[in-house]
Structure 1
Amino acid sequence: MAEVLISIKEIHRFYGDFEALKGISLKVEKGQIFGYLGPNGSGKTTTIKLILGLIKPSFGTVRVHGGDPYHDNDMNVRINIGSMLELDGLYEKLTGLENVIFWAELFGITGSKAVGQAKKVIKLVEMSEWAHVLVSKYSFGMRKRLALARALISDPDILILDEPTVGVDPETRYLIRKMMKDLASQGKTIFFSSHDLEEIQKTCTHVAIIKKGKLISNGALNDVLAQFGKPKLFIRLESASDTETLGKKLEDIGYQIHIEGPLISFYPKNDLNIDDFSKYGILDSWKVESSLEEVYLNLVRDKRRKHEQPY
């Protein structure tokens, strides 16, 4: 049985009269890359603050690596959590290396060990040639890399990443994605909050979707896609002249029918037998499985807009 490193049970969190989290529960196991999704204001940042021990729940329990991140003073709990938040908090008047060494010292890593560990993680994010340059001269992508290096300084078992790839160049995006997968393969556990749904789908093994403080989906990525997604069907005809006729035929059995030349695409309501349409001269057909973006939008949209959903 896999070890649970993050456990959130029946959490409620109030800010005055406003209830930001409404009884959410989730578990993140060792080695998972766990994507945490939701619209702005849904409670993602509050959840991250709870995991990091920056705030305490109004009701419910949070356990990280077996301890209470808010109440426990045991450094073993804190040292096993690395964080990379959207606002990096780097000191611009220090060099990259000095920033990471300073962070190491906060974890009780000092002297030559701090310097050696700092150089190691800076090399890991491919920033060695910039290690002695002031952070004020760094680009946005370079700051993201350094923030990731800083998060790794204590060799934590758990990484909390908030929008790690937003606004970065493709090379940095690829580096961060590869590092997350490599770290997970080494047994690290990654809690990854982002609006970048394509990146989440490429990277994560598990996802949870939160809306207005309530958890609306939680599980292995493939299971969530299978449960809430629906494939899009493409049919290519021999002649474009038949597409309008077939398109009208499909109106009763599909949604969002789109015609472009001899190609028809749509979301079928139920399983179809393409052979039933053979008289229209079908050259080929294929299915494209739902993307995480389609599933996400289907789940978080207001029910009053249900007629706009593709399925």
Structure 2
Amino acid sequence: MEPFERYRDVVDDFDAFLAACERGLPMAVRVNTLRATPEEAVAAFEAEGVDVERVDWHPHVLVPDTDKPGSTWPGYHGWTHGQEEVSAIPATVLDPQPGERVFDACAAPGSKTTQLAAMMNDEGTVVANDNNLGRLSALRFNTERLGVTNTVVTNRDARNYSLKPFQDDADDDAALFDRVLVDAPCSCEGTIRKNPDALDNWNLGHVEQVASVQRGILRRAVQVTEPGGTVVYSTCTFAPEENEAVLDHVLAEEPVAVVDYDLPLEHVDGLTEFEGESFDPQVANAKRVYPHHNDTGGFFTAKLEVTAE
């Protein structure tokens, strides 16, 4: 795990961090509230002899004692969906409401998209976009399996997402969405516990290349969000180049603020400097979750509020 050495001075209890990264990741599922309550899902697992742990911070996240939760009765019938525990953070922070217009910029394979739809009680509209056409089949399968009907699927580059198909006029710059989720493609360092080969081809050049894409996606997300609306930016990586530096860039270019929020998981604040580079003090409002904090994967999440020009 040589690439992680660059984080030795910023990660609390670095030895515990490395030890956690070397352990396997507990299997988690999210209860699909469009089809079942958490109590019904727990009872269904237990009827099959599968013990279930309910996490403290989220009422819909369960940790069943099985390596194949999708093969169980609640999994097969769409009562639950396999989703890593920290993967439930971004949609929870975005907090979409029934009837709103929500954009999921990098949506496939759909875990967060279907979580958004469930939080909205399948009311309003979720535009689920991904630039990878091959991955959209999984997204469509998951929306159908989980009974989601309020989702529109699109296949575009989120960096220059066009609003014209959804507007009555030709003003492509007009804002459309109440809330936007940017769960950006990244170097995936934080997935090391479920993907032991995540670091095999790691290099700083790739990190910087991905960060360039992330900056473009997040800027466009801000541009298509109504003033007063919310954008959540998240990655499953530790690299500040893909996290705080992306926020710093967008803060300098767009009318947006990084706001604080409550995260009932152990975490640390966003970094305001790294390897001699300083970032806007607002990025401290972002949250970093390391694997040793809560026995999860690694994750970074920031909540942004779009302001008027």
The reply to whether TM is greater than 0.5 is no
Larger radius of gyration: 1
Return the structure number with greater strand share: 1
Q: TM-score, normalised by structure 2?
A: 0.32
Higher relative contact order (CA 8 A, sep 6+): 1
Q: TM-score, normalised by structure 1?
A: 0.31
